Structure formats: C-alpha cells, structure tokens
C-alpha cells in the first residue's frame, strides 16, 4: 500500500478544529462565579478553566463544533470563531467548507413567515443530554419511550429490533471501566507508528471504519487526562439490537427507533444521548451473556436516558450542506 496514502489517513493535514470564543464581559467567572456550564455540556471537555477567568479553548483544542456551549451558557457569552473543517486529503470537508447556520425560519406554502409547528420545535430543540440527575426514571415513562421505538417503520414491516433496558448500576460500572481499559489500550496502539500503520491499512482495505482516524475521533481518544464513563452516569441505558436477517438491515432500523425514542424521552421531560461507544461492552468477557444478547441479535447502539441536570436542549447552528435540486423544467441539478 503506498505509504503516502496511509500517511494521509494517519496524520491528515489541514485539520482545523472548531474555535469558540467567550466574551469575558458577559461571562460571570471574572466576577467570581464558579459557573462552568459551557465546560459541563462540552462532549470533549475542550474548555480550559482558570479560577476568576472566562473559559478559553487551548490552541490544541478538541472542539468538534457541536455548539452545546452556546446553548448551555446562561449569559449568551459564547460564540463561533471557526467551524471544524479539513482542507484536503482523506478527511476533507465536502463540499469545502461549510457555514454553520441557525435553523432556517419557517414559511408557509405561499412564502409567508409562520411559527414552527410543535413537531419542528421538538426536532430542532433536541440536543444530546450528557449530564443527568441521580434520579431513577419511572418504568411507566420508560414504557412510553419503548413504545415509540416499537412503532417505528421497517422494511417489509420486519420490525427487526430488540431493546435491552439496563438500570443495574453494577453492570453499568463494569461496562464503563471495561470500555475505558479498551480505549486506553487503543490509544497506545495509535501512538505506535507500526500499529498505526496497521490500523490505517485496515481502513483502506475496508476492515476498519474510515472514522477510525477521523481527527475528531482521534482527538477524543487522546483525552486520557480524566476517566469518563461512556454510559454518562445515566440512570437508564437502552441497548438497541437489530436482526441482520431483515430487509434493509445494517442499522437503519435502530436509527429510526432511536430517534423516535429520543423525541418521546424529551416529550416526557427526560433527556437522551446516543452512545455509539456502547459497542465496547462487547469487548468485555462475559458481558454479551450478562446483557442477554443471543443469536441472531446484533448490538447496534444504545441510548443513555435520564432527567437532565441542567438545561441542555435548544436550537444551535449547524453546518449547511447545499442541497441538490433537480427542479421540473430547470434542465439539470442546482446546488442551493
């Protein structure tokens, strides 16, 4: 395999992590407050906190431009300086580069401004909730969430899903600690040039996911300064499994179930976050059996659910990728 191809994956060039700034005049920390909501709601803990100062992002920040810090800040002090993007190579942002825009204002069929519908508000306000209160979720509410999953559409109405609801704290601890050990070992592999090369070969040959070396993934894995439980200390985790024998199998059904369940969790006053890292549970000897995962069920992902510790929902900007329109009579595609 040409070494320049591998190198472009292992050490991509032109990577610009997100840059966020804080208006120190609006932030309450310089006035002596201990607020750190922007830090608490940051999935990669990108902010540096110094007592008596407004938070700042270090030069080697891991910011992935999710904009949670903007909505977490009660003083509206955080703004975007630069959106995550990659100039060239394997991980190049396509099309280069995208602008972060707030949700487009709604119009009716005649083009007049209108209010968002309840469904639109629910979709646009949903955010991943990663900070939960230490409070159990009543089973009556969990049943409503699970029903939202059960009523998802599916190819040929196969309904190829199965849910496992975990509230056992001892099992959660075992998963968190096992996953952490796995991630630590993986980080060591990344740092070894020969191992990194082997992993990159796995990406090019299709054995490993392309995202293995995505700068955001590698950055998050480099975070070994503090232990962070992958299950986010949530009181409930719903594991979502799919039957690979179904038509359109491959995770799509879990995606639909998960989104249905997330929105209903929000509707009943709860918060949720997808946990793709939940797959690491399978690296722990005996965990598959402990979770009751049997043939043919394939674990696809999980949702961490609980009562939000502080406000974490709301609208944020998002990169806008132009849509291709092939309008009747236009004679061809237009990007807009």
Contacting range for ligand SF4; rule: CB under 6 A; set: 17-25, 87-95, 177-185, 191-199: 17-25
CB of residue 111 to ligand FMN, shortest distance in Å? 28
How far is 141 from 331, CA to CA, in rounded Å?
Answer: 52
Q: Which does 128 bind (CB under 5 to 8 A by kind): ligand FMN, ligand SF4, none?
A: ligand FMN
Residue facing ligand FMN at closest CB distance: 276
CB of residue 19 to ligand SF4, shortest distance in Å? 9
Residues 87/14, Cβ–Cβ less than 8 Å: yes
Which residues lie across from 165 on neighbouring strands?
238
Place of tokens 């995208």: 98
- Chain residues in the site for ligand FMN (CB under 6 A): 43, 66, 127-128, 130, 273-277, 301
Site for ligand SF4 in 56-75 (CB under 6 A): 63-69, 72-73, 75
How far is 287 from 171, CA to CA, in rounded Å?
Answer: 9
Q: Which does 73 bind (CB under 5 to 8 A by kind): ligand FMN, ligand SF4, none?
A: ligand SF4
User: Does 220 participate in binding ligand SF4 (rule CB under 6 A)?
Assistant: no
| Of the candidate residues 77, 220, 280, 299, the single one contacting ligand SF4 (CB under 6 A) | 77
Rg of the chain's alpha carbons, rounded to an integer? 22
CB of residue 248 to ligand SF4, shortest distance in Å? 32
Q: Which is nearer to ligand SF4, 83 or 266 (CB)?
A: 83
CA 142 centroid distance within chain: 22
Distance between start and end Cα atoms, the chain? 39
Q: Which is nearer to ligand SF4, 69 or 302 (CB)?
A: 69
User: Does 37 participate in binding ligand SF4 (rule CB under 6 A)?
Assistant: yes
CB of residue 194 to ligand FMN, shortest distance in Å? 28
Q: Which is nearer to ligand FMN, 12 or 308 (CB)?
A: 308
Q: Which is nearer to ligand FMN, 246 or 273 (CB)?
A: 273
Dump strand ranges (E) for the chain.
15-16, 19-22, 78-82, 85-86, 99-101, 161-166, 236-242, 271-274, 298-306, 318-320, 324-325, 334-335
How far is 45 from 317, CA to CA, in rounded Å?
Answer: 19
CA 71 centroid distance within chain: 16
Burial 229-245 (b: 16+ CB within 10 A, else e): bbbbbbbbbbbbbbeee
Q: Which does 274 bind (CB under 5 to 8 A by kind): ligand FMN, ligand SF4, none?
A: ligand FMN
CB of residue 25 to ligand FMN, shortest distance in Å? 27
CB of residue 300 to ligand SF4, shortest distance in Å? 25
How far is 281 from 219, CA to CA, in rounded Å?
Answer: 21
Find the helix or strand (DSSP H, E) in which 311 lies. Answer: none
Residue numbers of the site for ligand SF4 (CB under 6 A)? 18, 20, 22, 27-29, 35-38, 41-44, 46, 54-55, 63-69, 72-73, 75, 77-78
């Amino acid at each position: 395999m040409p070494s320049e191809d591998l190198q472009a994956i292992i050490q991509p060039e032109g990577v610009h992590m997100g840059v966020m700034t804080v208006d120190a005049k609006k932030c309450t920390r310089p006035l002596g407050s201990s607020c750190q909501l922007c830090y608490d709601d940051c999935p990669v803990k990108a902010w540096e906190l110094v007592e008596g100062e407004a938070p700042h992002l270090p030069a080697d920040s891991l910011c992935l431009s999710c904009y949670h810090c903007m909505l977490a800040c009660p003083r509206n002090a955080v703004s975007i300086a630069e959106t995550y993007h990659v100039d060239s190579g394997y991980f190049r942002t396509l099309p280069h580069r995208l602008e972060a825009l707030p949700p487009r204002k709604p119009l009716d069929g005649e083009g007049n401004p209108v209010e968002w519908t309840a469904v639109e508000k629910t979709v646009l306000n949903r955010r991943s909730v990663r900070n939960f209160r230490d409070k159990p979720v009543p089973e009556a509410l969990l049943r409503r969430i699970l029903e939202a999953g059960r009523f998802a559409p599916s190819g040929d109405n196969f309904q190829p899903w199965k849910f496992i609801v975990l509230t056992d704290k001892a099992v959660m601890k075992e998963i968190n600690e096992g996953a952490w050990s796995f991630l630590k070992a993986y980080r060591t592999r990344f740092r070894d040039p020969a191992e990194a090369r082997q992993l990159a070969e796995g990406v090019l040959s299709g054995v490993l996911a392309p995202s293995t070396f995505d700068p955001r993934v590698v950055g998050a894995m480099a975070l070994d300064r503090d232990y962070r439980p992958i299950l986010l200390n949530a009181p409930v985790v719903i594991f979502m499994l799919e039957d690979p024998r179904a038509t359109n199998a491959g995770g799509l059904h879990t995606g639909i179930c998960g989104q249905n369940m997330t929105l209903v969790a929000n509707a009943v006053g709860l918060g949720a976050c997808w946990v793709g890292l939940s797959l690491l549970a399978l690296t722990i000897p005996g965990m598959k059996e402990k979770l009751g995962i049997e043939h043919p069920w394939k674990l696809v992902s999980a949702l961490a659910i609980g009562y939000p510790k502080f406000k974490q929902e709301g609208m944020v900007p998002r990169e806008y990728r132009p849509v291709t329109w092939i309008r009747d009579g236009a004679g061809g595609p237009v990007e807009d």
